[in-house]
Structures are given as C-alpha cells and as structure tokens.
Amino acid sequence: MIAEAPQIDLIAERKEILKRYKQLLKNAKPLLKGDDAKIIKKAFAMSMDAHQDMRRKSGEPYIFHPIAVAQICVDEIGLGTTSIVAALLHDVVEDSHYKLKDIESLFGERVAKIIDGLTKISGVFEHGSSQQAENFRKMLLTLSYDVRVILVKLADRLHNMRTLDSMSSDKQLKIASETMFLYAPLAHRLGLYAIKSEMEDLFLKYTEPPEYRGIALKLKQTKAARNKFISDFIAPIEAEIKKSGFNITIKGRPKSIFSIYNKIKNQNTPFEKVYDLFAIRIIVHDLKTDEEKAACWKVYSIITDFYKPNPDRLRDWISTPRSNGYESLHTTIMSSLGQWVEVQIRTERMDDIAEKGYAAHWKYKEGDVSNAEAGLEQWLSRVREVLENNDAPALDFVDNFRANLFKEEIFIFTPKGELKPMPAGSTALDFAFEIHSQIGARCIGAKVNQKLVPLSYVLSNGDQVEILTSVKQKPSEDWLKFVFTSKSKGKIREALKDSLRTLADDGKEIVARKLKHAKIELTDEIQRKLMDFYGEKSAIELFSKVAKHQIDLSHMMDFDKPTFKEEQQPTITDKKDFVREISKIKGEKTDMLLIGEDMEKIDYNLASCCNPISGDNVFGFVTVSEGIKIHRTTCPNAIELMSKFGYRIIKARWTSQKELAFPAGIFIEGTDRVGIINDITIIISTELKVNMRSITVDSDDGIFTGKIIVYVNDTKHLDHLMEKLSNVNGILKVSRFDYGDK
C-alpha cells in the first residue's frame, strides 16, 4: 500500500505568506519614504508570480526565501528600498520566465544591475574552471558599481545556511565550505560581525556536528553561572561609570561557538580551560562625535581602577579604525576571581556600525565620521583595483581577491607621517606602487625606519617607509615573485607587456628577414605554424624569445614538415563519466568505501594531507590525474576544495566489510618521569596490540611532548586507545593530529 502525500493547506500557506510580507513592511517602515511601500508591493507581486509553483527542499513555498532575505537586509543590515526590492527579486531571472529587461523597465537600471550580479552564470565551463569562482567574479564585478550586490548576497547566503537542514549531507558540506571560504570573510570585511559569526557557527554545525553540539550544550549548562559572574563583575564599575555622568548600557555575551572551538583546537585545551569564553560590551550613549574618544578612554580608566588590564591585549580601534569602519576600544582584564575577561568600550554610533557595518555609515553620513568612512572607502577602492585586473582565470582571480582583501591590515607611515593601510604581507615595492605606479616602476630600494632595505623587504605594522627611485630602473619579471598586492602585480605585468611588445617587434623582424631569404612571406598562417613548431602559446612569446636568442632558428625552415604526434588519451571531465569508466575497467571488488550518488565500490586513494581512517566523516574528490582522493571533512584543504570545485565532490561513506589498518597521529603532553615512555608503549603494543609506525618525544624542563603514529582499524579503535593513554600517570593531554606523508 502506497502512502499518500500529505495534503497542503493552500489557504493557511497564503495567510502565512501575507503575514511574513506585512512583518517585512512593518520592520522596514522607518527606512521608507514616498512611494517606497508601493514599489516593494510591486516587487513582492512579481516574486509571488515567478515562484508561485516552486517549493524549497523543506517543502515550504519558495516565496518564504526571498521574503526572509529581504527581512535580513532590513533587520540585520539596515538596508532600504532598493535592497529590499533586489532581495525579493534576486532569484526571479534564474528561476522564471522574467528577463532582466522586465525588471529594468519596472524597477530601474540600478535594481536590474544588482540582480544581474546575483544571477548565476549558466552554460558549460572549460575543463579545470570552476562555476563557483565564475559566479563569484561576476558578482564582484557588480560590486564596483554598487556595494549592495554583496550585502544582498550575504543576506541570501545567511538564510540558505539557516535552512541547510533539509539538504543532503554532501550539499551541506559544499554550501558550508563555500560560505566559510568566501562569504564569512566578506561579511567580516564589510563590518557585519554578527552575520560573520553566525556563518562560522553554522559552518561548524554542518562540518563538525558533535563538536558544535558539545560546545552549544556546555554554553547552555554554564549560562546561569556565567550570568552571575557577569553581574558580580559589572556591579562596581557600572555604579562608578554612572557616577561620572555617563549614560551606559552593559551587555555580556558568550563568544561564538566557532571561536571557542578554535581556541580549544589551537590551544589543545578543554572547554573548561578556555579563559575568555565571553566578552562584556560597554556602550556609551548621548555623545557628540567630538566627545566620543575622550569618553571611551575615561570609561577605560574607571574600569582599570577596579581591575588590572593585560597590557598586551589593549586594542585601540578608535584612534585608527579598521578599514571596514569598525571603531572600539578593547582590553582584557583580570577579574577578582582570577579569570580573564574581554571588555569592549564603544559609543552607540560605533556599536551600530559594528553590528550593521557598511550600511550603518549612511545613517551617520552627515556627522563627522570621516576616519571610519575613509577607511571603508579605501577598502572598496582596493576592491575596484583588483577588479580592474580581472583578466586572470576565475580561480586565480578568487585566490588573488582573498589574498589581497581578506588579509589583516598593517598601517605604514610615509616620511611625512601620513598613515596608509596595507594588507599584511606587503613588501617595500608594494608600498611604492601604493604611492604611485611611476614610483613603483622606478623603485630601486627603500629606507624602513631610516635603514636601507631591498625591494622584497616585508613591512611590519607601524614602519615608516621612504622609497628610493632611479630613472634608469625598469620593472623585471622577478618582481612578480615578491610583490603581494594585486595593484602591484597588475602594474608590473602592464609594464612587462609593453617591454615584451617592443622585443616581439624586433623578433618578428628577424624571423621575417630569414623567411624572406627563402622567398616565404610571414603571413598569419605561417606565424601559426611557427608557434606550433616551437610550442609557443602566443606570437608575442615566440617573437620575444627570438629577440632574446632563447629560440634556435637554425632549424626554423623545418616548420612545414609533417610531424607525428602520439595519440592523446581522452580526458574525463565529468564525475559520472569518471565513475563509469573506473567501474568498466575495474569491475566488482570488495572495498571499504562506497562512493558517488549510487554509492558504488570504485578505486580511490586516501589523501595524505589529512589521513582519513574508517569512521571519519569523509568525501571523495575527483582529481585530474590521480583518480578519486578521499579527504576528511575536517581536512585543512576541505573548505577550498568544496568552495572552488563543488562539482567534483562525491559522496563517500565507510562500510565495515573488512578490517584494514590506517595510520593515525596521536599527540601527547605531560610531566616527565622515569618510565613514562615504557608505560605508553606497553598500552599501545602489548595491552591493545596496536602497531606503531613511529614515536618522537621531546622533553624540556620537566615537561614532555610526544607524537606517535599508530595503525588503527577505525575511529572507535583510535578513541579507545587515546582514552587508555589519557589515564597514564603524568599525561595531561591526548589528542589526534593531522600529519602529511612527506
């Protein structure tokens, strides 16, 4: 008997859609003016029509999604009518009969351009390219026209992450990894810290579910104790700050689950030992802009009268705001119970900008916020510079974008004391190009803090830099090896192309003369044959190498003789073709992994970057030349692989058809004593009958650390071994570590 599909109550759904739409209008009301409500109503009607028969994977009406994205734009970013309309219509062109020209005629060119930036590219992509990277580049190109394309995309991505439960596990991994690789850093760069933190937490929820649930549970269990601690901590300082005449709000909040997870992992310490699980935020109200800085420092002074600060943890983002406009004073202080507490001091305006980032600047545009706004505009200006040099393949473009614009910043002083922000990793030559392209092209060296340094010198925060130039200097190809910013690379390549063209003209003349002696004219066809003969990709490369005497012209007249090439092996670009071909060649064979949509048994290799073992959460990755590689979902390379090459990710899951031994790394730390190594090896080799591949131990001043590589059957086997080792007298920490086979 076949079970009937549940009946959908269309009337109830219609009521729920209207309820959500009215809530959106209600929340947006303070941001609307004139006919804005009518424009939003028109966009809602078009979205309803475009998505009327569509449903999400969860079974909900699709229209819930664009309404939710618009709601995020209003509530969490503070955007107005243009963004609300773009959010309501962001999937219309992709999913329905409506075209961009329809949107432009009804809502104008600006809305149409934003939606075009949000619409995915369709069609076939070259082998080795990435659709995700192509779409990301397309969206960023729109960013140079209107930053709201990114803000709406972040709202869209946040809602997709919030509703990932209904997706299959491999889709969850792909979307979560892409979010972590591209969108969380973008949210951070645009000052949307709440959105960035939630994206990171949701990434952890779907890639490391047990760890996420464990930390969330412990935060819940310790909430009452934490609240009492915060209440006791703030009581004396709150009274004193208010006595000084300040109107303040004090908030205590736990750190994000993801940041706690990182501390646990990086410091190799349990949850209970993470010292700064929460931060306290003090917000000062009712201040004029010119009073803000002094007020924040006065509050800091009052706090440090009661509690001792850690001098190494003071961060002044008020005097020098971050490039995304973030302003705040951060300090870490010791409580009377011996616990470190992070305190953030800021004004109401600063807090609004910290919560809503870029969009909040427009609210304060009339006030004097030039410092913060200038920083944000400088960052957007750097974005546009990267976009101007966008002729690289999409994957290189995305890597370049991340390297230049998601990096932490350093601040460099000019000889006259002007402050210039640069990405961390910038060199003296990058700084020269930052000042002016001609100064960069003629740079021969620099003085950093009055000391002579080479062009490749990597700058540090606070350096004062003077650039030295010479009219005889010209950019060389070697410069590309040590410059960091896209601006520098673009300008160097431009200069090299100009010089290469001059060389190529000389080389072309040499070839033309040689051919003329043989009564042959240098036509486009002859040029193409010469390129094939010498294996050069372009005419410029061919002729410039001739001019530099890097090509032997003594056999040039053989270019027209027939050559016999080896038959090329067919390349497989589609993962289903790959699985099918492997199955044809291999036939049936018992294995420990089921791979692909149909969970077939096919050949694979275990990735040496993360060494997965039976029981680990894993995925398959179709490589170009090494077949299918199996990676752990927590592999250091997983985020990049999934975000760039989602179409080459294959489902994989362990079965228990036969027992194999997998190498796994165990890290141990403890107090040194006579016989401790013997106790460890007895447990591993004698008691549990586990084979060891290697063991290395270091001891320093009574503390020892060791790394052991053992062969285990699966994660349960490994967990049991680690539990036994943790009970050895003197051992304080036992954890698994990733290692790569060298």
- Point out the residues that are catalytic: 94-95
Q: Which residues contact 198 (CB under 8 A, 6 or more apart)?
A: 158, 161, 256
The angle subtended at Cα 714 by Cα 690 and Cα 262, nearest 5°, is: 105
The three-point CA angle 305-307-313 to 5° equals 110
Nearest Cα to Cα of residue 631 among 650, 611, 601, 654: 611
- For residues 706 and 723, what is the distance between their CA atoms, to the nearest angstrom? 16
User: How many residues are present in the chain?
Assistant: 742
Give the count of beta carbons closer than 10 Å to the beta carbon of residue 72: 21
SS3 string of 585-646?
Answer: HHCCCCCCEEECCCCECCCCEECCCCCCCCCCCEEEEECCCCCEEEEECCCCCHHHHHHHCH
Cβ partners under 8 Å of residue 738, min gap 6: 609, 610, 611, 635, 636, 665
Q: Which amino acid, 662?
A: F
- Cα maximum dimension of the chain: 98
Question: Positive or negative CA dihedral for 205, 207, 209, 212?
Answer: negative
Distance CA(68)–CA(84), nearest Å, equals 10
Provide the CA 295 distance to its chain's centre, in angstroms: 36
Closest CA to 301 of 329, 264, 262: 329
Q: Are strands 703-712 and 691-700 parallel, antiparallel or unpaired?
A: antiparallel
Q: Are 48 and 65 in contact (CB under 8 A)?
A: no
Q: Which helix (H) or strand (E) holds 530?
A: helix 524-534
- CA-CA distance, 525 to 727, in Å (whole number)? 77
**Closest to 147 (Cα-Cα) out of 357, 319, 363:** 357
Dig out the tokens for 167 from the structure.
Answer: 């997706």
Which letter does DSSP use for residue 55 in this model?
Answer: B
**Amino acid identity, residue 325?**
G
CB neighbour list of residue 49: distance below 8 Å, 6 or more residues apart: 96
Rounded distance between C-alpha atoms, residue 49 and residue 103, angstroms: 13
H helix or E strand, kind and range, residue 170: helix 169-178
| DSSP-assigned beta bridge partners for residue 731 | 670
Tokens representing residue 494 in the block: 């431009």
* CA separation for the pair 550, 347 (Å, rounded): 65
H/E stretch holding 618: strand 618-622
DSSP bridge partners of 251: 281
Q: Hey, what are 501's tokens?
A: 């063209």
